[in-house]
Structure 1
């Protein structure tokens, strides 16, 4: 029985190797789904067991310098990804409608393949968001949705770029997600730099709206497929998955918006008390106006991009 199971696994692995697009076959982590699956299982093990156990009797680590370097490094990396997406089709030849997969080996196609892999690889770097939470003992920010998103996103993208690395309209969500990450990591970098930079974070209140706009843009763009008279996109299954993913995260993030800003459930207790003392009350509830130790850095990261396609982190 075991031998039969192993034989089937090996047979499936051989099939994947043959089916893998030759243009990405030599890229790191693209030789087999086993490598990336082990990395993501290791991430889950560390976040749920090894990390909390290691930090159980230790004080939270102060990682200010590391977080500043990490966040601004991610700003630069995502800005580069956006630029490459624009130069490999979205800012040059794409129609922004039914842009099919480019199966050629033209310079533009190879450039799109490369940036798709860079976006995929960035999802592994983003696992550090959760590692920072663990080491700083921010356990309340490590929710099921946060872990699911960060582990599920790179896993699904592996299959995407294995089969269709230059997926035309199927890459729009990745470009939008990278744009949002430039904004988000800029905020987190400035926030980590200290209170002296708070005056530069006046746009914090727009972060949630930016996240929602991301899901709307992605869903509207991909929805064109269902209304076109004809679109010869070669792998429509990815169109359906992107639409489902964008719509689902719009709903989840809208719920986050409602819970955070309408009901005020995420308003820190100390801020509620302070505002109540100041008489800032409406309908018996304190109005949230103050910043809470990078509240969105944990909350928004729970629902992020999409595939980051959105993030609630830190979608």
Structure 2
């Protein structure tokens, strides 16, 4: 057997970005930092945090929660308006491959990076749950959602960036404006939380969001001049459907739990509201 017949392996370089501009953005040069963040996150919320809190009273964290949720609201408003402007300029379903236009590519990549950065900060949601001993809220849905959104957005930006994420980012940021506004106001105490009427609509809005994303993404893949690979398109579609099913199951279980606990209670509306604030 001569030297030219040796086995050849695929040359996978996980540090190589689709566009060189991506590597200049924080945390984007190599997969190491984002994987370290994910590992520390899961280690803390699944092992270290619960262990430290075993013999401790839950922290109130009122000021921290109000500040954190306020920052998330401001950040979500900024992202929503940034993405809205880009959607108006490029179109909701652009046929032109704007990533091929040099003076537009950097702006698109930075916009996607901001979305990734938001996913990193949102990991604190779970950290606060652990510190407040809200163990019932650290579910598979919660952990999977936060983990895959951070890592998935990083990989999307690094290897297969697409303007379709601008639409996804716009919808998600709008949902987060309402969601974090609720959590920020609820952190002020039950005397404020009882007047917040949109808590029961948040999960419904999230479900509508996933349906819109599935429709938009599959349509954009068909019409765009630079669609992602079939593998990426399949993963995004399947993962969004998975999210939809998980949130549907969460909504159904929450609805059944509330109705079961309040069954037979005269003031049912008050009972429902008190359970939803848990």
User: Which category of TM-score, normalised to the shorter sequence, fits these structures?
Assistant: 0.7 to 0.9
Q: CA deviation at 1:198?
A: 3.0
Counterpart CA distance in 2 for 1:242 and 1:171 is: 14
Q: Within 5 A, what are the aligned runs for 1:41-120?
A: 41-87=39-85, 89-96=86-93, 98=95, 100=97, 102-106=99-103, 108-120=104-116
Q: Which residue of 2 aligns with 1:276?
A: 264
Q: Which runs of 4+ in 1 moved over 4 A?
A: 266-269
Give the number of equivalent residue pairs: 267
Matched, 1:213 2:201: no
Q: Secondary structure at the match of 1:17?
A: coil
RMSD, matched Cα: 2.4
More helix by share: 2
Q: Within 5 A, what are the aligned runs for 1:118-157?
A: 118-157=114-153
Q: Is this contact kept in 2: 1:20–1:162, CA < 8 A?
A: yes
Aligned mate of 2:198, from 182, 196, 203: 203
Q: Is this contact kept in 1: 2:94–2:224, CA < 8 A?
A: no
- Structure 2 unmatched ranges of 5 or more: 1-10
Counterpart CA distance in 1 for 2:260 and 2:180 is: 23
Q: Is this contact kept in 2: 1:84–1:111, CA < 8 A?
A: no
Stretch deviating more after TM superposition (95-104 or 140-149): 95-104
State TM-score, norm by structure 2. 0.86
Aligned mate of 1:235, from 228, 231, 242: 228
Q: Is this contact kept in 2: 1:119–1:174, CA < 8 A?
A: yes
Q: CA deviation at 1:19?
A: 3.4
- Structure 1 unmatched ranges of 5 or more: 1-10, 281-285, 296-315
1:110/1:82 CA distance change after superposition, 3 Å = same
1:253/1:153 CA distance change after superposition, 3 Å = same
